[in-house]
Amino acid sequence: MGRARDSAKMITRYLTEISTAFNPFSPRAKTARLFLSFLPGNARATMKINTKILPRTSREKSFVQVKFKDGKEMKLDSEQLGIKGVMEELDRHSRILARQEELTGQLRWERV
């Protein structure tokens, strides 16, 4: 786990809101829990984070929903994608936003 976590970096600069829902007792909730653990320590200062803990008997699926600075929203089925898939989807759009920012000359030098 430590090794995977060290190598996993996620572009979070363009995220404005995160919502997750998961049953902490379900093994299928692993992706949502890992996703939250990959957020930087200052995430609450830069984005709105909503977490819904489902009851043990819940049949609802775990999900990760994200809103970007450009207004785009993504709701990802964290049970199907896995942590790598979720991070790839979010990073794909974040790279597009970074490229747009770079092309328009709005690049601000800030720590991710």
**Tens digit of pLDDT for each residue in 44-99?**
888 999 999 999 999 899 999 999 999 999 999 998 999 999 999 999 999 999 99
The residue extents of the domains of the chain are 15-110
Other CB atoms within a 10 A radius of the CB of residue 64 amount to 24
For the entire predicted model, the pTM comes to 0.79
Angle, in degrees to the nearest 10, between helices 78-103 and 30-38: 30
Q: Residue 106: what pLDDT?
A: 61
pLDDT-based confidence at residue 22 (cuts at 50, 70, 90): very high
Ranges of beta strands (E only) in 23-104 are 48-53, 63-68, 73-76
Q: 15-110, what's its fold?
A: Glutaredoxin (3.40.30)
